[in-house]
Chain A
Amino acid sequence: MKGFEYHKPQTVKEAIDLMEGLENAKYIAGGTDVMVLIRQKKLAPNCLISLRNIGDLAYMETEGGLRIGSAVTHNAIAKNEFIQKRYCALADAANKVGSRQIRNVATMGGNICNAAPSADTACPLLVLDAKVAIVGKKGEREVPIDDFFLGPNKVALEAGEIVKGFNMPAFGENTGSAYIKHTRRQAMDLPMLGVAARVTIKIGGSEVGCKDAFCTVDSISNILKKLEDENLVCEDVRIAMGVVAPRPIRAKKAEEAMRGKVISEKLFEELGEIAASESQPRDSIRGEAWYRRDMVKVLTKRAILKAVDRVIRPDDTIWPERLW
């Protein structure tokens, strides 16, 4: 392995100044991507600039929304009770990245800046309307997450810029979110497909009726049948999909088709078709394109219903905990 210098700046400014003055330098956060690439000889930097010891990047603020510093680890996110309750999709995703050892060091900033089409935390950020806070030589700026991803491993960062964190708005009690990662094994696998959803609902019928519909081990279609009587309106929705395009994408046409509609089996059928038509999956070692496209239909439905379930039954001790 080729040698490199290793710098450990204590502030963001120090890091940016270092990057400007050094040749062939690379930022490193948790290192679970960068160190692997170096060991595989796919990356040969002269210097690494560690972002791990910068206190200013390790914040987590929950007042009036959610602001997470880029150097916060996946484990800290997954185990945070506020995120588990109010930003479920993000907790779902952070808890599914790699293994415990990886989650203990890998940062969310790293996961997003590496910008793999399969990045688990990308889909939740897309549905949670996150903005990326960026800091560079010229000052600070904010970019909506949807504009941040440019392609595989490409993001809208200019030379020397650092992602400071991710800002998400606050959502009301009638909003829920979920992320479903479709893999061949439970851990240490990249998703074959990842789908996140966020819904804001309005119950036209009775709340108890909705609770009843979900408190069952019945099939999804039977749940939907019961829900139809309750006039459950989807006021707002976001759907994001990973691994179906060169970058994580929003299913905007499907969102449009769902907004303002009453939730029903038929609606989900239409929705699935639209979302599948918006995906452009390819064959890979993890799964074939046709299978992925089919699973988009299944998982958008499940992710949305999982999010709805979380609004209707926010108490996590409630029976039964469905395997959405």
Chain B
Amino acid sequence: MKKEITFTLNNEKVVVEVDPKWTLLYFLRNIMEMTGTKEGCGYGECGACTVIVDGQAINSCIYPVLEAEGRKIVTIEGLMAKNGELDPLQKAFVDEGAVQCGFCIPGMIMSSKALLDEKEKPTEDEIKESIEGNLCRCTGYVKIIDAIKSVAGGR
């Protein structure tokens, strides 16, 4: 039943055998053992599983793994430089104290990363829109928005 597919994961080409019933999230966490991407609700409601596919943020928990074929996928693990240096966006989340329990943060960062890749200087409304599908039960979102703004040069 398994099928072989090829795609780009965090700038590296991967050729893997996958089961059609897997979601992209299952594949990332259980096969690639990249557990930075989280499973929250599993129904596309909370955004903890957000990854970037061909430049667009998507919920990987309801994304069939076979649709990854030929596409470029970036996960939270792909943001850090090879020498261990954090992405400016990750740094901003640390500096602004935007993280409490941290479970939603990989998703938050991937959603805002997709926005910043598309638009260098988004407005506050655009920032809010980009993370509207990411639920956070700790922070109240204010510091998260501040962190994204600080990278976007919006303050």
Contacts and interface: CB of A to CB of B under 8 A. Distances in A.
B17 interface: no
A34 B4 CA distance: 23
A104 B131 CA distance: 13
Interface stretch (A35-43, A140-148, A236-244): A35-43
Interface in B67-115: 67, 69, 111, 114
Interface stretch (B8-16, B30-38, B41-49): B41-49
Interface string B118-136: 0000000000011111110
A2 B23 CA distance: 13
A6 B66 contact: yes
Interface residues of A, number: 28
Interface stretch (A61-69, A94-102, A123-131, A170-178): A94-102
Contacts of A320: none
Contact of A4 (B20, B56, B69, B132): B20
B106 to A, nearest CB: 13
B67 A100 contact: no
Contact of B56 (A2, A31, A39, A104): A104
A231 interface: no
Contact of A101 (B19, B42, B50, B67): B50
Given A3-B19, A5-B1, A6-B20, A101 B44 contact: yes
Interface residues of B, number: 32
Contact of B1 (A3, A31, A48): A3
Interface in A185-227: 186-188
Contacts of A36: 43-44, 62
A104 B44 contact: no
Contacts of A32: 44, 59, 62
A114 interface: no
A76 to B, nearest CB: 10
B23 A101 contact: no
Nearest to B115: A100
Given A31-B64, A101-B59, A39 B21 contact: no
A35 B49 CA distance: 15
Contacts of B1: 3, 5
Contacts of A35: 23, 44, 62-64
Contacts of B111: 100-101
A100 B20 contact: no
Contacts of A50: 64, 66-67
Interface of B: 1, 3, 19-21, 23, 42-45, 47, 50, 56-59, 61-64, 66-67, 69, 111, 114, 129-135
Interface of A: 1-6, 8, 28, 31-32, 35-36, 39-40, 48, 50, 52, 75, 98-102, 104-105, 186-188
